[in-house]
């Protein structure tokens, strides 16, 4: 397992966070201790795949990479950080012997003319004095802070929550109900959920819901009325007629669906401001992920024939709401959950279950039940990591909402729409795909309307869409980089969507011919449990080959007990846990095997003309 940093718990959000990557234990230990004395918070990584995962998860202020003659391929980590939309703003300080400096110089040149705020690559040669290292660090951190200033609210009193409540949450002897009430007590004064939204939920969920009734509900709340009128008169909607001053007219202009969706978004985003600025858990990215889930869940629910797809939208929007109080109200608890999640390469949900005995799903269900949300919404939140229980839901309409949220969460991760707390891609049961009328997964055109609606929502809700980008569609053909071989039970895996979104040409099949191995660089197998794996054994071990021609990746149900470390049988065979598939590790493996970093050609977002005109007018 990854060695943990000996650094004490941070006393506040002001300490700059440095990710220190070194394969050499002595160098890592000495730099860790020395930098701690200079008031830096250190995150350690002794392998390049954990360095990549932790950088992606925590978004440190700086990455220090120790490159040696024996690990020059780890410079691919730096290239991946610089080319990823999520991490490209992180500066990287590479410490390297003069003999291999030439390996890093191309990366340094690539960032030389980068715009302000984009991460720089700076090189420091061995031998060096620690004082010189500190100067480089301070210079990089100063430049980064000037380019991307932090604007979050840092003032929040969590002393009582950490001293009194947090110990109860870790205690396995404390009943779940007691823990949930303790979390509720920590947020009781901050979270006074708007009655208007709760009433609107009742209207949306009722069989006799109508536009007039929703408008009447909104009129009782001045803040909600003002917000809805403002959006209705925005450029995008105002083209449909003259300026409106009446809430009923505004609801008619927006439509029942968009009014109810916007009302929920406005209330919830206002309810959960960013109190702490936890590294790797920003509200912009959190709500971008949540909004993506909401839009995808609504579309899935509608396509499956549900009469109230608005319920799926709201359930998708707040499926992860339980994470907010854990972050805002407990200074040390949430960072510990994040560290455990990345170090063990497990999902955030399973880390919560392991350490606390409950998860954000239970918190979200508990709170929405207290707020009298429709049960179809609260149950979708409770089950959004439990596909087996979803499939056992007896009421078809409730099951569709739950299935839509479960699948939407996975597809949003596969498409890199926003970010929450991990990048684990769960499998989608074939039965669930059939219920949602997409037995072979989402069609190529599925996400087009999602991304457009997401952009518009972000503009009206004050969420930055700067990281909103998707790959251009690449039609399946014979000249694929990666072949995915499904078993007889499965005809879709979200890994296919994720690989395509990351720029790879992917083909899918249920059977691969022997001669195909000479044409395909990478083959991903998803075999049935108990079936023999497609592996040839030779008396002269092929693992000693200089460069294998084909990489085989197997997604398996059973792996050896090596917690936190994926299985490997050499440079050309990788065993992965199909129940705990981390997309960041998959990309790292492909980077190293292919010897290059593949990135997608991004699709230009189609901004509505009236939006563009509105932007010009403001300018």
Tell me the pLDDT tens digit for each residue of 55-80.
988 889 999 999 988 888 888 888 88
Helix ranges (DSSP H) in 525-601: 583-594
Query: By CB neighbour count within 10 A (0-12 exposed, 13-18 middle, 19+ buried), where does 540 fall?
Result: exposed
320 with 338: CB under 8 angstroms?
Answer: no
Q: Computed from CA positions of residues 70, 73, 74, 78, in that sequence, does the dihedral angle turn out positive or negative?
A: positive
CA distance 459 to 474: 28
254 with 231: CB under 8 angstroms?
Answer: yes
pLDDT of residue 615: 39
| Gyration radius from the chain CA atoms | 25
Q: Computed from CA positions of residues 416, 422, 427, 432, in that sequence, does the dihedral angle turn out positive or negative?
A: negative
Give this prediction's pTM. Answer: 0.82
pLDDT of residue 230: 72
Q: How far apart are the first and last CA of the chain?
A: 52
pLDDT of residue 91: 92
**Cα–Cα separations (whole angstroms), residue 219 to 41, 194, 259, 372:** 49, 13, 13, 21
Q: Which residues contact 25 (CB under 8 A, 6 or more apart)?
A: 3, 46
pLDDT of residue 114: 62
Reference 186, options 210, 169, 211; nearest CA is: 169
**Cα–Cα separations (whole angstroms), residue 233 to 196, 243, 251, 381, 384:** 21, 6, 11, 33, 36
pLDDT of residue 328: 83
Q: Which residues contact 258 (CB under 8 A, 6 or more apart)?
A: none
Domains of the chain: 17-147 (3.40.50.2300), 482-594 (3.40.50)
pLDDT of residue 409: 97
Listed as ranges, residues in the chain with pLDDT below 70 are 1-14, 112-118, 145-160, 162, 188-198, 201, 204-209, 221-223, 234-242, 266-278, 465-467, 469, 473-478, 516-517, 536-548, 561-570, 604-619
* Buried b / exposed e along 79-103 (16+ C-beta atoms within 10 A): bbbbebebbbbbbbbbbbeeebbeb
Residue 581, helix vs strand vs coil: strand
């Amino acid at each position: 397992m990854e060695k943990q940093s000996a650094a004490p718990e941070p006393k506040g959000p002001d300490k700059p966070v440095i990710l220190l990557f070194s394969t050499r234990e002595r160098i890592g230990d000495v730099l860790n201790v020395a930098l701690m004395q200079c008031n830096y918070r250190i995150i350690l990584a002794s392998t390049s795949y954990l360095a990549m995962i932790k950088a992606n998860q925590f978004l440190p202020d700086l990455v220090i990479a120790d490159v040696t003659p024996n690990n020059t391929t780890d410079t691919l980590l730096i290239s991946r950080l610089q080319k990823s939309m999520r991490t490209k703003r992180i500066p990287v300080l590479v410490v390297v012997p003069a003999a291999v400096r030439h390996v890093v110089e191309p990366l340094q040149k690539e960032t030389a003319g980068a715009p302000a705020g984009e991460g720089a690559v700076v090189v420091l040669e061995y031998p060096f004095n620690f004082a010189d290292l500190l100067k480089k660090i301070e210079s990089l951190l100063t430049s980064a802070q000037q380019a991307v200033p932090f604007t979050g609210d840092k003032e929040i009193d969590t002393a009582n929550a950490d001293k009194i409540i947090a110990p109860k949450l870790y205690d396995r002897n404390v009943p779940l109900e007691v823990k949930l009430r303790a979390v509720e007590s920590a947020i009781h004064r901050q979270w006074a959920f708007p009655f208007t939204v709760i009433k609107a939920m009742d209207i949306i969920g009722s069989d006799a819901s109508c536009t007039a009734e929703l408008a009447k509900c909104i009129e009782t709340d001045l803040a909600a009325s003002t917000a809805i009128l403002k959006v209705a008169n925005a450029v995008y909607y105002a083209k449909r007629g003259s300026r409106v001053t009446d809430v009923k007219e505004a609801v008619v202009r927006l439509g029942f669906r968009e009014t109810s969706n916007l009302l929920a978004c406005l209330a919830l985003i206002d309810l959960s401001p960013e109190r702490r600025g936890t590294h790797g858990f920003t509200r912009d990215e959190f709500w971008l992920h949540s909004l993506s889930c909401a839009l995808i869940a609504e579309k899935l629910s509608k396509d499956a024939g549900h009469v109230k797809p608005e319920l799926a939208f709201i359930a998708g929007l707040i499926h992860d709401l339980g994470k907010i109080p854990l972050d805002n109200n407990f200074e040390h608890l949430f960072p510990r959950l994040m560290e455990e999640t990345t170090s063990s390469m497990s999902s955030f949900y399973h880390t919560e279950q392991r350490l606390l005995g409950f998860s954000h799903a239970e918190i979200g269900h508990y709170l929405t039940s207290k707020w009298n949300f429709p049960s179809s919404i609260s149950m979708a939140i409770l089950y959004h990591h439990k596909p087996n229980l979803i499939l056992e839901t007896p009421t078809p309409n409730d099951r569709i909402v739950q299935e839509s949220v479960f699948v939407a969460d996975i597809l949003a991760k596969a498409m890199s729409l926003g970010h929450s707390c991990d990048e684990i891609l769960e499998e989608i049961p074939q039965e669930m795909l059939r219920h949602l009328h997409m037995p072979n997964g989402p069609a190529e055109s599925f996400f087009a309307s999602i991304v457009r609606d997401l952009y518009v929502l972000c503009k009206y809700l004050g969420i930055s869409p700067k990281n909103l980008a998707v790959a251009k569609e690449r039609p399946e053909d014979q000249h694929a980089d990666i072949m995915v071989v499904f078993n007889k039970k499965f005809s879709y895996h979200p890994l296919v969507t994720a690989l395509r979104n990351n720029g790879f040409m992917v083909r899918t099949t249920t059977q691969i011919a022997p001669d195909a191995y000479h044409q395909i660089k990478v083959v991903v197998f998803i075999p049935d449990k108990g079936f023999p794996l497609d592996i040839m054994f030779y008396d002269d071990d092929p693992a000693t080959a200089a460069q294998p021609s084909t990489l085989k990746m197997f997604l398996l149900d059973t792996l050896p007990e090596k917690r936190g470390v994926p299985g490997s049988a050499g440079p050309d065979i990788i065993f992965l846990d199909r129940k705990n598939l981390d997309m960041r590790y998959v990309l790292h493996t492909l980077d190293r095997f292919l010897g290059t970093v593949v990135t997608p050609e991004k699709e230009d977002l189609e901004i509505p003309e009236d939006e563009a005109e509105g932007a010009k007018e403001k300018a």
